[in-house]
């Protein structure tokens, strides 16, 4: 919870500022659409790269885990990264998952993987609530889309959690990262 709280110290205020800035942009303009598409594409590409290199990132961090300077700056870097996540999640709804886990593995390599994932999820909930409420307040939520997403995602979460225990990480992670990379490139190119 400490790590999630440090992330939220940066992400929640950044989400509020980003929503306020989005409220000033015209919702139907080509410029706003381009900013959001490019942001989504870039975030997906960075997340895909983080997934592809997750083991190398963690091994690199573990080799330097006892460096006193690294330990001293982990907190401020976590706040700064939280702010980046707040902007990304508010702008394009991408970032808290794959990017959050990759950075937490890098910053806190001695934390067990289950605690890294749990900390990232505990941080994602308040961030998503703030960003979602902000989008609702500025009128950019389509409730029919939200309903459709929930209708599909709730059974999908159950099915995915069942299947993920039977599919090797060697297949699952590269497939996920490849899909994210292709979608990200497509969004940036369009």
DSSP string, 57-81: HHHHHHHTTT-HHHHHHHHHHHHHH
pLDDT at position 16 over 90: yes
pTM value? 0.77
- Mean per-residue pLDDT of the chain: 84
Instruction: Please state the rounded mean pLDDT for residues 12-35.
Output: 87
Q: Closest Cα to residue 133, out of 79, 86, 90?
A: 90
């Amino acid at each position: 919870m400490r790590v999630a709280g440090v992330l939220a110290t940066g992400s929640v205020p950044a989400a509020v500022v980003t929503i306020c800035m989005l409220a000033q942009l015209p919702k139907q303009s080509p410029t706003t659409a381009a900013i959001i598409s490019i942001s989504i594409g870039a975030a997906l590409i960075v997340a895909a790269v983080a997934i592809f290199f997750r083991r190398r990132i963690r091994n690199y961090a573990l080799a330097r885990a006892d460096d006193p300077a690294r330990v001293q700056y982990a907190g401020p870097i976590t706040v700064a990264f939280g702010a980046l996540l707040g902007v990304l999640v508010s702008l394009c709804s991408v970032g808290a998952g794959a990017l959050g886990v990759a950075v937490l593995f890098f910053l806190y390599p001695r934390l067990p993987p289950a605690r890294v994932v749990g900390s990232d999820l505990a941080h994602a909930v308040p961030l998503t609530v703030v960003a979602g409420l902000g989008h609702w307040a500025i009128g950019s939520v389509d409730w029919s889309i939200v309903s459709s997403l929930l209708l599909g995602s709730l059974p999908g979460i159950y099915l995915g959690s069942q299947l993920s225990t039977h599919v090797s990480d060697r297949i699952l992670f590269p497939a996920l990262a490849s899909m994210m990379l292709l979608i990200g490139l497509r969004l940036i190119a369009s």
